[in-house]
Amino acid sequence: MRWAGFRKVRRQVCQRARRRAGELGLSDLNAYRGYLDAHLEEWAVLDSLTPITISRFYRDRGTFEFLAQDVLPALAAQALDHDRDTLDIWSAGCASGEEPYTLTIIWEHQLAPRFPALTTRILATDIHPAMLARARHACFTPGSLRELPEPWRTAAFVQQDGLHCLREPYKQAVTITSHDIRSGPPDGPFDLICCRNLAFTYFAEDLQHQTAKWLVNALRAGGALVLGAHEQPPDNFLGIEPWDSARGVYRQVHARPDI
Specify whether 12 is located in the same domain as 128.
no
Q: Is residue 259 in some structural domain?
A: no
Let me know: does 208 contact 200? Beta carbons within 8 Å.
yes
CATH number at residue 172: 3.40.50.150
Find the domain containing 129 and state its range.
Answer: 61-252
Q: Is residue 257 in some structural domain?
A: no
* pLDDT value of residue 255: 47
Specify whether 113 is located in the same domain as 201.
yes
pLDDT in tens, the chain (259 residues): 888 888 888 888 889 999 999 999 999 999 999 999 999 999 999 988 888 877 899 999 999 999 999 999 999 999 999 999 999 999 999 999 999 999 999 999 999 999 999 999 999 999 989 999 999 999 999 999 999 999 999 999 999 999 999 999 999 999 999 999 999 999 989 999 999 999 999 999 999 999 999 999 999 999 999 999 889 888 777 788 999 999 999 999 864 444 3
Specify whether 28 is located in the same domain as 86.
no
Specify whether 25 is located in the same domain as 115.
no
pTM of the model as a whole: 0.90
* pLDDT value of residue 254: 61
Specify whether 116 is located in the same domain as 185.
yes
Query: What are the CB-based long-range contacts (under 8 Å, 24+) for 166-174?
Result: 166/101, 166/138, 166/139, 166/140, 169/108, 170/101, 170/104, 170/105, 170/108, 171/101, 171/104, 171/138, 173/104, 173/107, 173/119, 173/120, 173/121, 173/122, 174/97, 174/100, 174/101, 174/104, 174/122, 174/124
* pLDDT value of residue 48: 86
Specify whether 175 is located in the same domain as 83.
yes
Specify whether 24 is located in the same domain as 76.
no
Specify whether 91 is located in the same domain as 33.
no
Specify whether 224 is located in the same domain as 106.
yes
Q: How many domains does the chain have?
A: 2
